[in-house]
Amino acid sequence: MSDMARFFDMGGYALYVWSAYGLVAVVLAANVAGPWFRQRRLLRRLAERDSAEER
Amino acid sequence: MQRRRQRMLFAGVILTGVAAAAALAVRGLGENMLFFFSPSQVAAGEVPAGQSVRVGGLVVRGSVVRDSGLEVRFALSDGAESVLVRYEGILPDLFREGQGIVARGRLLTGGEFAAEEVLAKHDENYMPPEVAEALEIAREGGQIPAADAGP
Amino acid sequence: MRTPFNHLAAPMHFYRWGARLVPWLGACTVVLLALGWWGGLVLAPPDYQQGDGFRIIYVHVPSAWMSLFVYVVMAGAGAVALIWRVKLAEVLMAASAPLGAWFTFLALATGSIWGKPMWGTYWVWDARLTSELILLFLYLGVIALLAANEDRRRASRAAAVLALVGVVNVPIIHFSVQWWSTLHQGPSVGSFGAPSIHSSMLVPLLVSALAFKCYYLTVLIMRARCEIVERERNSAWVREMLPR
């Protein structure tokens, strides 16, 4: 087995190790994306509300 | 006012749900506060016969006997007393002599323990194989070979 | 009573210096996480007993440690909000709750995945696992209470009370493996005595744990800033800084 293949095989525990890391990566990424996009949406919506009021 | 009452009801329902869930969890826990009996407790007669309980200990070296098919017998010890366990089924990966094991089943009248489930309980030690080997050799009173020792 | 602390804690000021901190904390998170997981997945040797399977430790333990740490921060913020009525404390409590819940979920899920090959089961009702599950329920309860009442003050008060009542669970979780017989093993990195984990495996774990702390701070500030904009949306300073 090549070094790379051996790394991914994780001594036979590949399924367990990678699903654990995968789950964590997804959750951590989602929790950053959430506030990031929410902030932008919020500011945009508030700006629209303000310009609508000005008219 | 209608909405406020709705919200309080909502909060009340949620809290009741949380309390119920926690109560269930604690009840599940209550039965398992003492997660397993030790072989000494078994020998002292603390274990009710016939009831589903758990027994934990270390697999005694040389005690593992595999019968036909998936049947296996082994002894669990806590250093002072030991319990004979019989089990039919797949054993966990970590099962081996000297390993910590927790078996769930019933204590038979003969003193043997009929297990329905066998789990491995590993300790909190993590180390590379070489270190483990060196410890094993040291424990058995041998010499740990020096790094540059010749054949 | 105006004190220098009031000034710093005012939502507007937190919003501004929070914006400056986030990129730094974010960069620290990425670097530390890369180092920690590289160390854990590649550099650390396999375990004598669990082989490469033990490497789940580098996601499971940091998640578990954070689930406890964030709860204490959340309860502390709740106490400050209750006693001194500090708006920022309410915001930090509200922002911490979902993060703590996610860390708890990850601790339980990665632990379950790890338990299957090593213990032979995905779940047992032992003291450690059960008390951690109760922690998740507590987080969900705090989140629900915050969402249930439009009156933010009242919602925060109720949530803070629940958070504080639940704090007793934190030492229970920590000491469960020592007080009762459990399937989950005792601490490898405890408060006293030498760690029972080899240094080559321990160092990536500590780095990963630090990375998770930086991550929490980064996302906490991001969430808190969102919360502040929503709460203060009618105030002058928010209107002024909106994009035109």
Between B and C, how many CB-CB pairs are < 8 A?
A: 137
Q: What share of chain C in percent tops pLDDT 70?
A: 95
Q: Mean pLDDT, to the nearest integer, of B70-92?
A: 93
Q: Return the structure tokens found at C163.
A: 């958070």
Scanning C126-155 for CB atoms below 8 A from A yields none
pLDDT of C195 reads: 87
Degrees to nearest 5, angle at CA A34 with A31 and A36: 110
C8 within a domain of the structure (yes/no): no
Q: Do C118 and B93 touch (CB under 8 A)?
A: yes
pLDDT of C241 reads: 84
φ/ψ of residue C147, rounded to 5 = -85, -20
The answer on pLDDT for B49 being more than 90 is no
Residue of B nearest to C194 (CA): B125
Q: Cβ(B7)–Cβ(B13) under 8 Å?
A: no
C7 within a domain of the structure (yes/no): no
Q: Cβ(B98)–Cβ(B64) under 8 Å?
A: no
C4 within a domain of the structure (yes/no): no
- Which residues from chain C sit within 8 angstroms of residue A9, using beta carbons? 52
Confidence of residue B150 (pLDDT cuts 50, 70, 90): very low
Closest alpha carbon to C176 in C130, C224, C232: C130
The answer on pLDDT for B6 being more than 60 is yes
Read off the pLDDT of residues B96-146 as tens digits, 9 standing for 90 and up: 999 999 999 999 988 899 999 999 999 899 999 999 999 888 888 766 555
Alpha carbon distances (Å) from B93 to A13, A55, B99, C115: 11, 72, 11, 11
Q: Mean pLDDT, to the nearest integer, of C97-120?
A: 97
Q: Do C200 and B34 touch (CB under 8 A)?
A: no
C210 within a domain of the structure (yes/no): yes
The answer on pLDDT for C3 being more than 80 is no
For chain C, the domain total comes to 1
Q: Cβ(A31)–Cβ(C99) under 8 Å?
A: yes
C5 within a domain of the structure (yes/no): no
Does the CA dihedral C9-C73-C80-C150 come out positive or negative?
positive
Name which residue leads in pLDDT, B90 or C190: B90
Q: Could you give the CA distance from residue B118 to residue C226 in angstroms, rounded to a whole number?
A: 50
Q: Could you give the CA distance from residue C98 to residue C1 in angstroms, rounded to a whole number?
A: 32
The domain locations on chain B are 1-33, 39-120
Scanning C85-104 for CB atoms below 8 A from A yields 98-99, 102
The domain locations on chain A are 3-54
Q: Cβ(B34)–Cβ(B48) under 8 Å?
A: no
The answer on pLDDT for C52 being more than 70 is yes
Read off the pLDDT of residues C202-220 as tens digits, 9 standing for 90 and up: 999 999 999 999 999 999 9
Structural domain boundaries, residue C78: 15-239
Confidence of residue C9 (pLDDT cuts 50, 70, 90): low
Domain spanning B39-120, CATH architecture: Beta Barrel (2.40)
φ/ψ of residue A36, rounded to 5 = -60, -55
From the CA of C56, how many Å to the nearest CA of chain A?
Answer: 6
pLDDT of A52 reads: 81
Read off the pLDDT of residues C159-205 as tens digits, 9 standing for 90 and up: 999 999 999 999 989 988 888 888 999 888 876 778 899 999 999 99
User: Does A52 contact chain C (CB < 8 Å)?
Assistant: no
C113 within a domain of the structure (yes/no): yes
Read off the pLDDT of residues C123-173 as tens digits, 9 standing for 90 and up: 998 889 999 999 999 999 999 999 988 888 899 999 999 999 999 999 989
